[in-house]
Amino acid sequence: MEIDDDGNMTLTAEENQDLMDRLEIAEADYDDPPVDIEGVEFEGDVATFRATNTRTGKTILMTFDRNQAG
């Protein structure tokens, strides 16, 4: 996972696929997934985000080690 200077998150292909699977996003929706991601907590070397499938309301937490990000 990387965050650019504008605050935009970029996931690796593996991270993105894991997100789609965990949120139960249909493969047909991969080009424009119904996903909202918001920052929850940034403490020390850990960044936590909440991802929500905006169609179903299913929510997951994603946690990244900021030292390994980018």
Q: Is 31 left (phi over 0), alpha (psi -120 to 50) or beta?
A: alpha
For the stretch 33-70, pLDDT in tens is: 999 999 999 888 888 999 999 999 999 999 988 665 44
Residue with tokens 């996003």: 25
For the stretch 16-36, pLDDT in tens is: 999 999 999 999 999 999 999
pTM tops 0.95, yes or no: no
